[in-house]
Amino acid sequence: MVGEVSTPGIQVIDDIPMTMLEAINRAGGFTREADFGNVLLTREGTTYRVDVQAVYEEGDITQNPLLQHGDIVNVLDHRFNKVFVLGEVANPGSYIMNNRRASLAEVLSDAGFVNQSTSDPGWIFVMRGDT
């Protein structure tokens, strides 16, 4: 267990199967910087992305796999979950999205809103990359 958990380290798997959530809980849970939706499971040389957030929000138990001896669980941080606000706003820049989502109003608020004297709110664009 590595990454954004309170106590990274080896988790012993005995004759009782252990799920990913159980391993994360045994490691002290997620840190404040953890990205619940971007947990990597490396098994036998192949890495899979696991969306633990979907377990919490949607009850998707397929995102809580049973771990096997030799698995590596890496809880990534949320610094890659950014939205970029550019143009006629008070504070253009990059902002971290909590829980992998943010509304347009929330992002504009974080950026200090649009400049009322120089901007045209009719020309606000939202561009998304591939996910």
- For the chain, the farthest-separated pair of C-alpha atoms sits apart, in whole angstroms, at 67
Q: How confident is the model at residue 103 (pLDDT cuts 50, 70, 90)?
A: confident
Tell me what pLDDT residue 9 has: 94
Q: How confident is the model at residue 45 (pLDDT cuts 50, 70, 90)?
A: very high
pTM tops 0.75, yes or no: no
Helix, strand, coil content of the chain in percent (nearest 5): 25, 30, 45
Q: How confident is the model at residue 52 (pLDDT cuts 50, 70, 90)?
A: very high
Strands 82-85, 46-50: pairing kind: unpaired
φ/ψ (deg, to 5) at 76: -75, 160
Instruction: Cite the beta strand spans of 1-131 per DSSP E.
Output: 2-3, 34-43, 46-50, 72-77, 82-85, 93-96
Is the pLDDT at 101 greater than 90? The verdict is: no
% of the chain beyond a pLDDT of 70? 95
Tell me what pLDDT residue 130 has: 62
Q: Which residue has the higher pLDDT, 56 or 23?
A: 23
φ/ψ (deg, to 5) at 126: -115, 120
Tell me what pLDDT residue 74 has: 96
Is the pLDDT at 76 greater than 80? The verdict is: yes
